[in-house]
Amino acid sequence: MTTSADDDTDQVNARPSSAPGAASLAGPLTGLRVVELAGIGPSPLAALILAELGADVVRVDRASAPGALDWFPDGLRRSRPSIAVDLKSAAGPDVVRRLADQADVLIEGLRPGVTERLGLGPGDCLASNPRLVYARMTGWGQTGPWADRVGHDITYAAITGVLHLSGGSERPRPPANLLADFGGGTLYLLVGILAALHARETTGRGQVVDAAMVDGAASLATMIYGLFNGGAWRDVRGANLLDGGAPFYDTYPCADGRFVAVGALEPPFYAALLAGLGLQFAEAQEDVAAWPRHRAAIAETFASRNRDEWLEIFDGTDACVAPVLGLAEAPSHPHLVARGTFAELDGRPVPRVAPRFSDTPGRDPGPEPVIGADTTTYLLDHGFSQAEVDALLANGAVRQADAETQSE
C-alpha cells in the first residue's frame, strides 16, 4: 500500500494508539536507563521528557522530610517513579552508585562540587561505569568566576543579552522562566545527553555533559547576534523588526481588553492585515519613519471590536493574526485540540511531550508519585535483594512512603 505526503503527515501528528500490545507505545527511547538526582527547573523537565519518550527514568528524592521546593506544584515530577534516598547517610550514596552502574545516563542539577563531596561525582561514577553519560545542569556552568554563585533564570538570562531583548521599551522583563531555565537549560541538556549517547556508539565511552543555562541562553540568541553584528538589529529594546518595534509584528488590545498577536512580516501577509482592518497607508511597509503613525491607526482599529470578532474577520486569511490566549483558554483552542497538544491528568490539561514520532510515539503524561512511593519496588526490580532493602530502610538510608501518605 502506498501513502501520500498528507498520509505521512497524519501519521506523524497522530497521538499514541491505545490498542493493547501496540509495539510503538513504549516510545523512541525504550531501553534507555536514566538516574535523576532530584532538582528544580530544567533538570526535572529533561527527565520528564526522557521518561515520556520511553526511557526508564527514576527520580532520586531526599529521604528527609520534604522541603517546600520538594512539593512545589510545578508539574515536573510526573511520569516516573520516585525513590527516597538519604545521600548524607553512610549507605545512601552507594545506592545511587549501584543504580548508576546499571544506567546509561545520570542527571544532576546541584551546585558544582556537591556530588563530588557526596562521592557521586563524575570520577566516582565513571570509574565503575565508563559508558555512563554524566549530565550536569547548572546556571553558570561548572567553571568560570561565577560558577559557585547562586542565581535563577532571570540572572542567567541577564548576562547573556537575552533578557535585554525581552519586555517593553521601558525596561526588560522576563517571559516567566522560559528563557534560561527551559530554553537555555532543559533543551540544551537534552541535546547534550543525546549527543553524548550517539558519540558513545563510536567511542564506547561515556562522558561528562556540562550544560549551563548561560551557554544555552546565549546560543538561543544566535540569530539576533547575527542580525546585530550585521547592522540589522539595534541594541535598543522595542525598536526592531521582531521585538515589537514594527507595527505589523506586535500585540494589540481589543475592545474587550483581550489581545491579538500580529505577525504580518511578508508583503502579502501585510496586505491581508490591512485589508482585514480596512486600512490603507500611503507609505510602504518598510518605511520606519511612518511606523508610529501606522501603529496608532492599527491600534485604534483593533480597539474598535472585541477580540473574537477580529478572529472571525481574519479567519481563513493570510494576515497572521492569532488570539493571545491565557493558560485557561489555550488547551481548548481547536487547533491544539485537533493535534492533541494537551492531555488530561487528574482532570486538568497538561502539555504532552514533543516532538511527534511516526513509528514510536511517546507516552501520555503519567501521575506525579508521592516522594518515596516506589523505593522498595524499584530497588527490588533493579538488583537489590530483599535483605538489602530491609537493611537500608532500617538504617534510614532510604525511605518508603507509607500507604496513608500515598493515598493523600
- Alpha-carbon dihedral 39, 43, 49, 52, rounded to 10 degrees: -30
Report the C-alpha gap between 137 and 211 in whole angstroms.
5
Helix (H) or strand (E) holding 84: strand 82-85
CA 172 – CA 167 distance, rounded (Å): 5
Quote the cell numbers at residue 268.
502579502
Cα dist. 57→79, 180, 216, 265, 324 in Å? Answer: 9, 24, 24, 43, 35
Q: What angle do CA 218, 152, 184 make, to 5 degrees?
A: 30
Best CA proximity match to 101, nearest among 377, 384, 374: 384
Strand 348-351 to strand 321-323: parallel, antiparallel, or no bridges (unpaired)? unpaired
CA nearest to 252, candidates 195, 316, 298, 305:
298
**Catalytic residue set:** 152, 181
The residues near 96 (Cβ < 8 Å, ≥ 6 apart) are: 35, 37, 60, 85, 87, 120
Residue among 317, 318, 273 at smallest CA distance from 294:
273
State how far the alpha carbon of 346 is from the alpha carbons of 57, 78, 343, 368, in Å. Answer: 21, 11, 10, 10
Write a three-state SS string for 341-389: CEEEECCEEEECCCCCCCCCCCCCCCCCCCCCCCHHHHHHHCCCCHHHH
Residue 207 one-letter amino acid: Q
